[in-house]
Amino acid sequence: MRTSNKRIVVLLLAAASIFLLSRNCWAQFPGMMGPMPGANGPGGTTVGPPVNTTSNNLPSGLNALTSLPSFGSFGQDKADVSSKIADAQNDEKSKDPVVRIEGLNEVATIQDPQVDDLLLKALTDPDLRVQVRATDIVGKRRMTDAVPLMSQCLFMRSTPEEEKVHLVSALGNIGDPRGTLSVMHFLEKARDERARGTAVYALGEIGDRRARELLMRVASEDPSSQVRRLAQEALAKIDGELPRDHAPVAKNAQPLMTTDQKLAKFREMENKMRQEHLQPF
């Protein structure tokens, strides 16, 4: 009878030891074992102490994973862009021209159709300062969709002369041939040396051969030596003797390689070099 009782005590102690061991293993390696009864289940309690995922004792790979941003932060930039566009749209309705300009400045570098619409509207803003700022931004963004409207504004007598100079400069930055005739018309009517020089430079940047005859006349007859020199340079750009500062990307230009394509190209070169190295001399 005593022997039987001893066996029961030994079995109970063994069972208790296994239970305690399993608890510790579950707490330290929750992903290595299945869920235990009463552990984080319905009506249950957490077994063991919480796992410290930021411990310095973790392997380097796990530490790298724990340092990744949460999923919510990946959309932060997009949300910030949307917020800036919304603010600029609200600023557009302001009666204060300074506020409207500040709104344009906030979205000047954001590539979005909504920003393009804001800039197109601002080109015909009743305030000259807003018009000029919008024109400069459009030129830097090289918005080809704005060329017809800008050319129309350039032909209109009601457009202030200061705005016309900025329109000419922006059309030169964009480099779209659809702006050639309006810039030529402006050059023929311009009396100011600065305005003529800006128009000549713009025609050289556009690179349309329809402007050659007018530029040749300016290069030989303009009273300003500076304008004559700019006209000569513009002719050289049209003839391909000088590069254009704002030349548009060629239509047959090779597209940029993606990351996968670059890696594949690198592996191809690496394999080729390895094979050449293994070949006997």
Give residue-wise pLDDT tens across range 68-80.
Answer: 344 343 444 778 9
Q: Are residues 86 and 224 in the same domain?
A: yes
Residue-range definition of the domain harbouring residue 3: 1-36
The model scores a pTM over 0.95: no
Residue 128 lies in a domain: yes
> Is residue 263 over pLDDT 70?
no
* 261, pLDDT greater than 80: no
At 228, which CATH number?
1.25.10.10
What secondary structure does DSSP assign to the chain, as a single string? -HHHHHHHHHHHHHHHHHHHHHHHHHHH-TTTSPPPTTSSSTT----SSPP-TT-TTS-HHHHHHHTSPPGGGGGHHHHHHHHHHHHHHHHHT-S-HHHHHHHHHHTTT---HHHHHHHHHHTT-SSHHHHHHHHHHHHHHT-GGGHHHHHHHHH-TTS-HHHHHHHHHHHHHHT-GGGHHHHHHHHHH--SHHHHHHHHHHHHHHT-GGGHHHHHHHHHH-S-HHHHHHHHHHHHHHTTSS--TTPPPPTTPPPPPPHHHHHHHHHHHHHHHHHHHHS--
Same domain, 1 and 95: no
Question: Is 113 among the domain residues?
Answer: yes
